[in-house]
Amino acid sequence: MPEAGGRVFIVGAGPGDPGLITVRGLECLRAADVVVHDRLVGKRLLERVREGARLIDVGKAPRGGGPGQEEINLLLYREAVRGNTVVRLKSGDPFVFGRGGEEAAALAAAVRMPVLAQLARGRIRGAQAEMQPLRQPWTGDGRTVERGEPPRQ
């Protein structure tokens, strides 16, 4: 994959109230050339995107429909290769049932990609430390305990 000239920001929209998105997330929305968003992201938040930015809805409808994950990953990559600043706006926290980890992993080799998790979630520390978040294939019914230790020498 050739390296992209643009960037992709994975941004958590929070619980739905536009007043609860992080300041940095809002700055990214206002600077974006392209916003690729989920169906559950509120319209009031999308109204804060800068004029002239393209909005691309990749939300999945109940009982199927909408683009698959590979198609979304390719869309993000193609827009970044074109030199665009892309915001992948996901409802809630992008790494809690949001497949943000899969998107980040798919783009990591070719795209500059800061991660902006929602501050209300405990995972922001891990995202800032560039720790690998849980990815969808490993989540499921039941309980998940996350623990990390430095490797033994």
pLDDT tens-digit readout, 76-102: 999 998 999 999 998 888 877 667 878
Domain count, the chain: 1
Note whether residue 153 is domain-resident. no
- Known active-site residue 33: no
pLDDT at 152 over 80: no
Note whether residue 41 is domain-resident. yes
Note whether residue 59 is domain-resident. yes
Minimum mean pLDDT range among 21-30, 90-99, 118-127: 118-127
Choosing from 17, 33, 57, 60, the catalytic residue is 60
Domain that holds residue 116: 7-138
Note whether residue 124 is domain-resident. yes
Note whether residue 143 is domain-resident. no
Dump the DSSP string for the chain. Answer: -PPPSSEEEEEE-BTS-GGGS-HHHHHHHHH-SEEEE-TTS-HHHHTTSPTT-EEEE-PPPTTS-S--HHHHHHHHHHHHHTT-EEEEEESB-TTSSS-HHHHHHHHTTTSB--EE--TTSTTHHHHHTTPPPP-GGG--SS-------PPP-
Note whether residue 144 is domain-resident. no
Choosing from 33, 38, 90, 93, the catalytic residue is 38
Query: Which are the contacts of 14, defined by CB distance < 8 A and separation ≥ 6?
Result: 20, 21, 22, 25, 92, 118, 120
pTM, rounded to two decimals: 0.72
- What CATH number is given to the structural domain containing 115? 3.40.1010.10
The CA distance from 148 to 131, in Å, is: 9
- Confidence grade of residue 1 (pLDDT, cut at 50, 70, 90): low
- Known active-site residue 90: no
Note whether residue 146 is domain-resident. no
Note whether residue 145 is domain-resident. no
More confident call, 12 vs 15: 12
pLDDT at 144 over 60: no
pLDDT of residue 115: 56
